[in-house]
Amino acid sequence: MAVRFTVEARDAGTSARAGVLATERGSFRTPAFMPVGTAATVKGVWPDQLREMGYGCILGNTYHLYLRPGPERVRGQGGLHRFMGWDRLILTDSGGFQVFSLSALRKVTDEAVTFRSHIDGSLHALTPEVAVAVQEALGSDLRMVLDECVEYPAERKEVEEAVRRTTLWAQRSLAAATGTRGGMFGIVQGGMHADLRVRSAEEICSLPFQGFAVGGVSVGEGKELQRETVALTVPLLPAEKPRYLMGVGTPEDILFAVTRGVDLFDCVLPTRNARNGMMFTSTGPLSIKQARYADDPLPPDPRCDCPTCRSFSRAYLRHLYLQREMLASMAMTVHNLRYYARLMERAREAISRGSFGELVKESAISGVQ
Amino acid sequence: MAVRFTVEARDAGTSARAGVLATERGSFRTPAFMPVGTAATVKGVWPDQLREMGYGCILGNTYHLYLRPGPERVRGQGGLHRFMGWDRLILTDSGGFQVFSLSALRKVTDEAVTFRSHIDGSLHALTPEVAVAVQEALGSDLRMVLDECVEYPAERKEVEEAVRRTTLWAQRSLAAATGTRGGMFGIVQGGMHADLRVRSAEEICSLPFQGFAVGGVSVGEGKELQRETVALTVPLLPAEKPRYLMGVGTPEDILFAVTRGVDLFDCVLPTRNARNGMMFTSTGPLSIKQARYADDPLPPDPRCDCPTCRSFSRAYLRHLYLQREMLASMAMTVHNLRYYARLMERAREAISRGSFGELVKESAISGVQ
């Protein structure tokens, strides 16, 4: 396994850092946002458009791909990259998060998570070894260990048990790995309990992973608790390895986490919100369904350089949205993803200049969220 | 009004001709297919992609645009071209066909078609003058007169009445026109009755239209009757003006009509079929839902140059289709539209070489339909 991570710049006033994450397949600059491509497609977007927007890594959901079309089918097509026509990097999760959030009748033991498919009710057992094998069949570049993610709120005892099991599974995952390209990330759990976060970080970070993730946030704990947990956990992760905050989040949440030294992010927010008619703009969120936009000739964000803002008005996008035309989702997804890509570009530039704190302040003032 | 139509080549063995249709906005080569952009968007496709596929003219549906977002809203946005981000030509129909096929409680008199919106039941009156005014508000380049389109089968008396009314409305449409850019097309009706087609053609073609259309086909009459009607009607249209066969059709139907001297076509077939998982290929139709494609690594059509065939396999498209991913419709629409664009390119080349008959024969042999 080979992931090379180089920190190229450190911010002056915060713990933010800018770097490059490289694997055999290629490299991309961090801090970076990874669009979510659940079922081997980022919904409504052509792979070429993701490249043009500047994305170097996208995320695939192992749970969905495991159920449909199945890892062996993807392997038979030459792997996920070739299957979906994407030649840059792919990070896959372990499938665990969706098992916990989507499937029915799940039962967790040290051996496995047993669950029923949310599609057809079929019975499956996900073990750390299966999660590794499925991700290796998919051929992703960055692979996540199976962990136990606990909802919020939860009993301390339950969180403690999840920390223990997550470490056990992390060890088994490393033992099961046969892939030699890219690398595997460990995940720190511990809920909102400081001592359990410390314990989990110590255990996970002592293992030879290529990167480390903060898991178990964005599970209903709210913004303040999330920030506290991020602020506490991130400094516990090795500084020389990439750090990934899973499932976060809003532009504001991302900028905060970058100040604490996080390098990687993923979230469905830009893509899902786009399909619901909500766009991120330099002056705050814009809900296209509002009547005030019916005759508005301006682009969604006059300061944006995306294909949507170059060609389409708010009036047109509102019409498409109300008519449920595919182009509504397509165009607003491209806009939101370009917004996120540009946010990360600006973050990297500001860190390189040593003035990332100013960007965070400006963003707060201009209502970015 | 200004439409310049120049025939540049005539086929040796058929009545096919290749030419250029030019307006103030620009020009495109004929014979040409026009993708249908019902509600100010060709479903699932970016305007840039239509340009890249080689399309010079698309169709907008006046009925849909009249109801949503309304002609004044489009005019307020600078016209349909600017509204939808399309700078090449747009042909709009009169709205009549959709009134007859979609709306409820329609009542036809010489004065107007009164109908209820299929969306909200609101009452509207469409007159020849309104159809002209709406299309002028939309700012389309090529505009169609309101005609009365009769279903098949129909009583002779009913068809005769529609021919009379269509001529009356054609005269009123010309009188109502104030637009000075582009031009208006007359429409020949007459059902499947040879003498009524002749009568309608004589009446309509005596009027100073910029082009002429064969209407009232593709209304349930079947392939043979359609071909007979096309073969009978097209030679009655002025040879120096563009000829448009409305709502037709399959690649086979189009090639046949080109042999008879038709220049323009539109049809929902390539776009609608794509959304239903059916692709046109050089070896015949391909239905992506079939299990035989589950592990098929080939592109939809190995001889196709479209972005879909360059990047995606049948296995991947089938996966996307079964998962109801937007990219399924997007990719298959691009493929089918490029198929139609290339069919027309090949037709124009063959006509210029004087060997169009050979292309028609080859296409029949290779199973094009």
Q: Does B39 touch chain A (CB under 8 A)?
A: yes
Confidence of residue A362 (pLDDT cuts 50, 70, 90): confident
**Residue A84 is nearest to which of B77, B316, B329, comparing CB atoms?**
B316
Q: Does A77 touch chain B (CB under 8 A)?
A: yes
- Is there a contact between A113 and A172 (Cβ–Cβ < 8 Å)? no
Q: Does B43 touch chain A (CB under 8 A)?
A: yes
- Please state, for a pLDDT cut of 70, what percent of chain A lies above it: 99
Judge whether residue A168 has pLDDT over 60: yes
What residues of B are labeled active site? 93, 266
**Residue A325 is nearest to which of B43, B83, B297, comparing CB atoms?**
B43
Residue B364: the pLDDT is 81
- Chain B residue with CA closest to A313: the answer is B83
- Chain A residue with CA closest to B119: the answer is A323
Confidence of residue A179 (pLDDT cuts 50, 70, 90): confident
Residue A368: the pLDDT is 60
Confidence of residue A162 (pLDDT cuts 50, 70, 90): very high
Q: Which of A11, A93, A253, A263 is catalytic?
A: A93
Q: Which residues contact A353 (CB under 8 A, 6 or more apart)?
A: none
Chain pair A-B, CB pairs under 8 angstroms: 106
Residue B154: the pLDDT is 93
ipTM of the complex: 0.97
Range A275-284 average pLDDT: 97
Judge whether residue A189 has pLDDT over 80: yes
Q: HEC states along chain A?
A: CECEEEEEEECCCCCCEEEEEEECCEEEEECEEECEECCCCCCCCCHHHHHHHCCCEEEECHHHHHHCCCHHHHHHCCCHHHHHCCCCEEEECCCHHHHHHHCEEEEECCCCEEEECCCCCCEEEECHHHHHHHHHHHCCCEEECCCCCCCCCCCHHHHHHHHHHHHHHHHHHHHHCCCCCEEEEEEECCCCCHHHHHHHHHHHHCCCCCEEEECCCCCCCCHHHHHHHHHHHHHHCCCCCCEEECCCCCHHHHHHHHHCCCCEEECCHHHHHHHCCEECCCCCCEECCCHHHCCCCCCCCCCCCCHHHHHCCHHHHHHHHHCCCHHHHHHHHHHHHHHHHHHHHHHHHHHHHCCHHHHHHHHHHCCCC
**Residue B77 is nearest to which of A83, A315, A330, comparing CB atoms?**
A315
Pairwise CA distance, residues B280 & B336, whole Å: 6
Residue B103: the pLDDT is 75
Q: Which of A141, A147, A266, A301 is catalytic?
A: A266
- Chain A residue with CA closest to B47: the answer is A311
Does the annotation mark A305 as catalytic? no
Judge whether residue A183 has pLDDT over 70: yes
Pairwise CA distance, residues B273 & B339, whole Å: 13
Range A162-169 average pLDDT: 98
CB spacing of B84 vs A316 below 8 angstroms: yes
| Cα A363 versus chain centre, distance | 21
Residue B182: the pLDDT is 94
Backbone conformation region of residue A21, classed left if phi is above 0, alpha if psi is from -120 to 50, else beta: beta
Range A99-103 average pLDDT: 83
Q: How close is the nearest chain A Cα to the Cα of B66, in Å?
A: 13
Q: Does B267 touch chain A (CB under 8 A)?
A: no
**Residue B315 is nearest to which of A46, A77, A295, comparing CB atoms?**
A77
Residue A253: the pLDDT is 96
Residue A239: the pLDDT is 98
Can you spell out the DSSP letters for B201-229? HHHHHTS--SEEEE-S-SSS--HHHHHHH
Q: Does A313 touch chain B (CB under 8 A)?
A: yes
Range A241-252 average pLDDT: 96
Pairwise CA distance, residues B48 & A312, whole Å: 12
Per the prediction, chain A carries an average pLDDT of: 96
Each residue's pLDDT expressed in tens, for chain B with a length of 369 residues: 599 999 999 999 999 999 999 999 999 999 999 999 999 999 999 999 999 999 999 999 999 999 999 999 999 999 999 999 999 999 999 999 998 888 777 899 999 999 999 889 999 999 999 999 999 999 999 999 999 999 899 999 999 999 999 999 999 999 999 978 999 999 999 999 999 999 999 999 999 999 999 999 999 999 999 999 999 999 999 999 999 999 999 999 999 999 999 999 999 999 999 999 999 999 999 999 999 999 999 999 999 999 999 999 999 999 999 999 999 999 999 999 999 999 999 999 999 999 999 999 988 876 665
- Chain A residue with CA closest to B83: the answer is A316
Per residue in A109-128, pLDDT (tens digit) is 999 999 999 899 999 999 99
